[in-house]
Amino acid sequence: MISTETDILRAAEDWARGGRGVAIATVVETWGSAPRPVGSHLVIDGEGNFLGSVSGGCVEGAVVAEAADVIADGKARMLEFGVADETAWQVGLSCGGRIKVYVEKVN
Amino acid sequence: MELSTLAALNAERQARRAAVLVSDLAGGTQRLVKQVAIAADPLAELLERQLRSGKSGMVEADGTSYFLTVQAPHPRVVVTGAVHISQAMAPMARALDLDLVVIDPRTAFATPERFPEVTLLAEWPEEAIGRIGLDAYTAFVALTHDPKIDDPGLVAALRSDCFYVGALGSRKTHGRRLERLAEAGFDATTTDRIHAPIGLDIGAVSPAEIALAILAEIVQTLRGPRRKPA
């Protein structure tokens, strides 16, 4: 089981060296009772495989979907999730917190 | 992120050196500042403060927001004693993301069969610790019950800035240990750093339970309690 930040960034490097498209998502800000601390990572490849966690499962699906675009066009994106978000009913945080997630491609 | 930056970040972590990744999220630029280079960096004060906190976070400098990814060396547990308790500790430490190093010069105890996937050093603690070093991100645990092996490890740990020092043994055993350490020149303030009896008091009986109590105490020392008392 890969569960640690250590293994996640190592995996990102290995994946990129292996020729896979890779994006790194990082929790850069949190408000309220966010499930994962600032600095947590999710690593995603071009086929939607992912390791790590930015929210304990609440918004990973949405981040993985955005990461596909980041890998495709190389442009970094800032994503925001929370109860104030209009898509909250879809991919909100059940705990009521808000998080900002930065998604960037490994070049 | 450039692959070279990611690789450098991973290399610093592997080498147990602190580093801060500075990302200008709006501008899209990024640079890695290694520990030795922090003092000379234009953002030195901010970087040092963030590193001390041990947490990543957003900062502002001259109207620009930066995200600082803090990478402190990985917490590690160094144990003297390739014994039953350290055997039980191995899979728990792995699950907790703590690197485990087991030191025991007794080659009958320190066998790879008994310690698969653990860094096992079949040497005297002076030699082994002299080589690997003990830093502020290391916990030291003495488990052999044998002063010939445990004491040199404790001496090295007390001279280092290990975040945790613990020693197995009854109060009587620990009393004799304190006498020996006093003779070796350690004052009471220094020997007070030793957690003994070792581990959180959960009434541990079996080797696995004792391993759990010790690791729980190490995590508590590393993170600090968070809940307010009721």
**Largest Cα–Cα distance in chain B?**
63
pLDDT at B191 over 70: yes
Total count of domains within chain A: 1
Token pair for residue B95? 């699950």
What's the whole-number mean pLDDT along residues B119-128? 96
Whole-number Å distance between alpha carbons of B156 and B106:
19
pLDDT for A90 equals 53
Chain A and chain B share a number of CB contacts under 8 A equal to: 54
**Chain A, nearest residue to B2 by Cα:** A107
Q: A12 contacts in B (CB within 8 Å)?
A: 6
What is the DSSP code (8-state) at residue A26?
A: E
By Cβ distance, the residue of B25, B28, B56 closest to A39 is B56
What is B76-223's CATH superfamily?
Answer: NAD(P)-binding Rossmann-like Domain (3.40.50.720)
Nearest to B202 by CA among B218, B215, B214, B213: B213
pLDDT at B13 over 90: no
A7, A8, A10, best to mutate vs chain B, most B CBs in 10 Å:
A10
Domain around A51: 5-105
By Cβ distance, the residue of B1, B23, B57 closest to A38 is B57
pLDDT for B190 equals 97
What's the whole-number mean pLDDT along residues A77-89? 68
Q: What are phi and psi of B209, to 5 degrees?
A: -65, -40
Bond into B197 cis (ω within 30): yes
By Cβ distance, the residue of A3, A10, A102 closest to B67 is A102
Q: A37 contacts in B (CB within 8 Å)?
A: 55
Q: Per the CB < 8 Å rule, is B10 touching A26?
A: no
For the stretch B37-58, pLDDT in tens is 999 999 999 998 888 777 899 9
Q: Where are the domains of chain B?
A: 3-71, 76-223
By Cβ distance, the residue of A3, A28, A107 closest to B25 is A28
For the stretch A18-28, pLDDT in tens is 999 999 999 99
Q: Per the CB < 8 Å rule, is A28 touching B3?
A: no
